[in-house]
Amino acid sequence: MNAEMTFNGTALSIQHVTKAFGSNGGSSVLSRLRHRTAKANGNGKSERVIAVNDVSLDVRSKEIFGILGPNGSGKSTLIRLMTTLLVPDAGQVQVFGLDVTRHEMEVKRLINRVSVEAAFFKKLSSVENLLYAGRLYGLSGQEARRQTFEILRRLGLKDKEILEPLEDMSRGMQQKVAIARAFLTRPILLLLDEPTTGLDPRSKREVQAFVRELREVHDATIVLTTHDMYEAEALCDRIAILDDGRIVALDTPAGLKKLIPRHDSGEPTLEDVFMTLTGKELIKEEDVVTI
């Protein structure tokens, strides 16, 4: 069945989705920090924090759709809702017409996700990790091996590096392996949660080129969260700006720039738009403190 044609060209539909967290706020560092700053109520417990607040959007088939937002804005929570890792408190998320709550297993066969929190068997090589993943996804050993070498080489890894234990690789190299693992299944909806964080400029370009190739050659739909304004503008057909769990703007990069006045130095940048609409700065990679 051609899912894209069956569902009128909509790959992902999010309608009036809300997700809140209670006193513990989840396990991530940002979630814990967000909850520590919440005001205490009369019982000394943290207030309920709404991470995603009545969000609605549609992502078209074969679109590269970007989500920009400051840390704590709800980007990663929204991605987890798309991937069935979280259940919405209200509203509906559909992937190619399938409700992520009622059709969890079917949805999982259509999607894959890359995040900066990717987990591996660090004593094993990237080949061994991907072969293991490939067999879990139902690929034959021969096909998994062929695709593993093809994708890793395409992402710029040399054969010697491919055979090294992951614990001996840099964070950026490990991130490339995480991206390769997600590409292994040729998903028709790929969710990239800050996929190029930790990569050097050349590696970023290689990953970005591969993302375009996935859309153009394999007809994939891609949802991307990023801190990199240039990456968002270069890759994305449309961008949603998320702030405090709500979408404050959604348009093409050119359309977003029209939302604010031109200045003396010329056309506004995407960063100008972001700052005007949210009053906040994106935290750059070099400013992030590892905890």
Q: At 238, which CATH number?
A: 3.40.50.300
- Tell which wins on pLDDT, 86 or 36: 86
- Tell which wins on pLDDT, 30 or 239: 239
Q: In this structure, what DSSP letter does residue 117 have?
A: T
pLDDT in tens, 9-53: 899 999 999 999 985 544 444 444 444 554 444 555 557 899 999
Q: What is the CA radius of gyration of the chain?
A: 19
For residue 186, the enclosing domain spans 3-287
**CA–CA separation, 25 and 229 (whole Å):** 28
Lowest mean pLDDT among 42-46, 204-208, 245-249, 279-283: 42-46
pTM to 2 decimal places: 0.79
Counting Cβ atoms within 10 Å, is residue 132 exposed (0-12), middle (13-18) or buried (19+)? Answer: middle
Q: How many domains does the chain have?
A: 1
pLDDT of 291 above 70: no
